[in-house]
Structure 1
Amino acid sequence: MFKNAINYNAVLYAVLMVAAMWLGFLLQNLGWFSGCSGAIIPLSPYGLKGIFLSPFLHGGLEHIFGNSVPIFVLIFLLFQFYPFIAKKVFFLGWILTGFLVWLLPSIDIYTGDYNQVCIIGASGIVYVLAFFLFFSGVFRWNTKFLTVSMVVALYYGGLVWGVLPEELFSHLAEPSRISWQSHLSGAVIGIIMAFMFRKAGERKKKYIWEFPNYYSEKDDKLWQQYKENHPEDFLELPYKKKDNVWEHLDEIRKNG
């Protein structure tokens, strides 16, 4: 029963994405991608290819480990519970988030200075999926999808702080290397797609008794058949005629 409940495509896509990330990380360490090659460089034409390549590149083992687990879990949840729109959400979210990151210049929030940065990692996709899964359940208001929303909120609710610059919460000796722009872009795109696709595919079931005036005798075949076979049950019942006091007036006078 449990085997039949699992969508094996959900496992397959999750495994393939994580495997591709580790392959990219391996090639990166072998020198295939050096410097800003393959990274998103905001507002630079050279950095546009990073929209497609940057999720496969990471700054170290801690970075890729930190993205591998949530990527696997969130992709699995997406394809398991939203198979009808999973590919659209995943690939559209990936591209739109990367493009939005490319459009957002890296500006020091205290000095206003522009810093040219190279952005790598799959955290933008993590935020797309997490925010889509949470808000999709809220927008649909469906028990099953709301359960998924609660699971995401329970395990990844802390992601919400990542949409803000790290400098707001701690005093850093140097600018943070965490791209809050990627997180913010992913969150925004995830919410927008959750709203756009709120009516796509499986929706909340509405049972017949939830509709006004759902019952009609004419549609009840068993009831109609019973009435035909037992007409005596529906004859008008005898009743006592109401007394007319004027008819008993003489009798009342005698007794009085």
Structure 2
Amino acid sequence: MEENHFKFTNAVVGVPLFFVLFLWFVYWLEIRFGFDFIENGIMPRTFSGLQGVVFSPFIHSSLEHLYNNSIPLLVLLAALFFFYSKEALGIIVYGILLSGIITWIIGRASYHIGASGLIYVLVSFIFFKGIQTQYYRLVALSLTVVVLYGGMVWYVFPKVDETISWEGHLSGLIIGLVLTFFYKKTEFKKVIKYDWERPDYNPLDDKFMQRFDENGNFVNLPKPEIIEEEKIEINPFFLSNINVVYDFVENQVAINEKNESKPES
């Protein structure tokens, strides 16, 4: 796949912005109309708690909780839709569902809410996928993610902060890694602009490289040999010493008059 695979589209800005605005809209509904969506979160190992697998990423307990998740989502979703545009939608959907299911299995007996699980899915996928491809632009993206969000790895361990869902974070990290194997590795190749970038390039056939010797000194090309053409002898059969006289007629009228003057045979 060539470098032009990375194209800026409206989805790079539109999808992250819409997703984050929707989270704020849900939180506004809670404040404006007094709703309590926390019970729609993930309650591990209960049938009613399964609804949280779908709804929990859109529910937040406080303004600070929502704000802390909004900025990473904007950055990571934009990077996802720019560098992995074809896989982006599947990563989001499968990331939410699968990380939610694992949280439902291993989580503590408490409501687990927030989009942090999806954030860990995105961080994990972008980091590990970039390393797997070994493509310089995606590796650079992986290193950028480490610099920005590398400290998040501590929050996948229990007892680091009892107020957060480390189970959701750990689930997102695992699912992000799993999705890198689910989606096939994309092969990237650099766009060839010059002949010397081709694998079958031979400098000996290059007119420019022929102007340099083994030490890199500029030399003049040898003058081409002048090959004299052999004279072609004409067969005497096609030669004649008899003069041929041509009678040119100016126009068609003269031709007709000349023909009329001839006697009939």
Same fold (TM over 0.5): yes
- Percent same amino acid among aligned pairs? 36
Alpha carbons 1:21, 1:57 under 8 Å: kept: yes
Q: Does 1:75 align with 2:71?
A: no
5 Å matches for 1:236-255?
A: none
Shift of 1:14: 0.2
Aligned equivalent of 2:131, options 138, 150, 156:
138
TM-score (norm 2): 0.68
Q: Does 1:203 align with 2:227?
A: no
Q: What is the match of residue 253 of structure 1?
A: none
Ranges in structure 1 where 5+ consecutive residues have no aligned partner: 107-115, 171-175, 223-229, 234-256
For these two proteins, the number of residue pairs brought into alignment is 202
Deviations 1:152-208 (A, max 9, x none): 11111101111101x2x47xxxxx1200000000000001112332514x6354979
TM-score (norm 1): 0.70
Aligned equivalent of 1:61, options 60, 63, 66:
63
Q: What is the match of residue 35 of structure 2?
A: 32
Structure 1's 179 and 209: CA in aligned 2 closer, same or farther, altered over 3 A? farther
Ranges in structure 2 where 5+ consecutive residues have no aligned partner: 1-5, 208-222, 227-265
Q: Does 1:193 align with 2:183?
A: no
Distance between the aligned counterparts of 2:77 and 2:29, measured in 1?
23
Structure 1's 162 and 85: CA in aligned 2 closer, same or farther, altered over 3 A? same
Shift of 1:25: 1.2
Structure 1's 141 and 198: CA in aligned 2 closer, same or farther, altered over 3 A? farther
Q: Give the SS at the match of 1:121.
A: coil
Aligned equivalent of 2:167, options 181, 188, 195:
181
Alpha carbons 1:139, 1:198 under 8 Å: kept: no
Distance between the aligned counterparts of 1:65 and 1:91, measured in 2?
22
Q: CA RMSD in A?
A: 2.9
Alpha carbons 2:95, 2:175 under 8 Å: kept: yes
The structure whose Rg is larger is: 2
Q: Give the SS at the match of 1:49.
A: helix
Q: What is the match of residue 122 of structure 1?
A: 115
Alpha carbons 1:27, 1:33 under 8 Å: kept: no
Alpha carbons 1:55, 1:120 under 8 Å: kept: yes
Q: Give the SS at the match of 2:35.
A: coil
Alpha carbons 2:38, 2:61 under 8 Å: kept: no
Alpha carbons 2:107, 2:168 under 8 Å: kept: no
Q: Give the SS at the match of 1:48.
A: helix
Shift of 1:123: 0.3
Distance between the aligned counterparts of 1:6 and 1:184, measured in 2?
31
Alpha carbons 1:140, 1:198 under 8 Å: kept: no
